Amino acid sequence: MSVSQTVRHDWTRDQILALFNLPFNDLLFQAQTIHRQFFNPNEVQVSTLCSIKTGACPEDCAYCPQSARYDTGLEREKLMAVEKVIEEARAAKASGATRFCMGAAWRSPKDKDLPYVTSMVQGVKGLGLETCMTLGMLSADQAQTLADAGLDYYNHNLDTSPEFYGEIITTRTYQDRLETLANVRAAGMKVCCGGIVGMGEEVNDRAGLLQQLANMPEHPESVPINMLVRVEGTPLADEQELDAFEFIRTIAVARILMPKSHVRLSAGREEMNEQTQALAFFAGANSIFYGAKLLTTPNPEADKDRQLFTKLGIQPEAYEVEHSDEAEAHALLDRVQAAQQDKVFYNAAG
- As annotated, the active-site residues are 57, 61, 64, 101, 132, 192, 264
Find the binder of ligand SAM among 168, 184, 192, 196 (CB under 6 A): 196
Q: What span, in angstroms and rounded, lies between the C-alpha atoms of 48 and 88?
A: 10
Interaction residues for ligand SAM, span 23-42 (CB under 6 A): none
Q: Choose among ligand SF4, ligand SAM, ligand DTB, none what residue 67 binds, the Cβ cut-off being 5 to 8 Å by kind.
A: ligand SF4
Query: Concatenated DSSP letters for 298-347?
Result: B---HHHHHHHHHHHT-EEPPPPTT--SHHHHHHHHHHHHHHHHH--S--
Find the binder of ligand SAM among 295, 302, 308, 331 (CB under 6 A): 295
Residue 209 in the binding site for ligand DTB (CB under 6 A): no
Phi, psi of 347 (to 5 degrees): -100, 100
Find the binder of ligand SAM among 44, 187, 192, 229 (CB under 6 A): 229
Residue 212 in the binding site for ligand SAM (CB under 6 A): no
Q: Based on CB atoms, which residue is closest to ligand SF4, 132 or 314?
A: 132
Give 299's contacts (C-beta < 8 A, 6+ positions apart): 49, 267, 269, 270, 289, 290, 291, 292, 293
Q: What span, in angstroms and rounded, lies between the C-alpha atoms of 321 and 349?
A: 21
Stretch that binds ligand SAM, among 225-233, 300-308, 323-331, 332-340 (CB under 6 A): 225-233
Find the binder of ligand SAM among 63, 154, 282, 290 (CB under 6 A): 63
Q: 101: helix, coil or strand?
A: strand
Q: Which residue type occupies 24?
A: F
Do residues 67 and 60 lie in contact, with contact meaning Cβ atoms separated by under 8 Å? Answer: yes
Q: What span, in angstroms and rounded, lies between the C-alpha atoms of 124 and 50?
A: 12
Q: What span, in angstroms and rounded, lies between the C-alpha atoms of 82 and 108?
A: 19
Residue 208 in the binding site for ligand DTB (CB under 6 A): no
Find the binder of ligand SAM among 191, 193, 225, 228 (CB under 6 A): 228
Find the binder of ligand DTB among 67, 98, 131, 134 (CB under 6 A): 134
Query: Which residue from 193, 107, 184 is spatially nearest to 146, judged by alpha carbons?
Result: 184
Residue 335 in the binding site for ligand SAM (CB under 6 A): no
Please tell me the count of residues contacting ligand DTB according to CB under 6 A. Answer: 17
325 CA to centre of own chain? 25
Chain contacts with ligand DTB (rule: CB under 6 A) = 49, 65, 101, 103, 134, 155, 157, 194, 224, 226, 229, 266-267, 294-297
Chain contacts with ligand SAM (rule: CB under 6 A) = 57, 63-64, 66, 103, 105-106, 134, 136, 156-157, 159, 196, 226, 228-229, 231, 267, 295
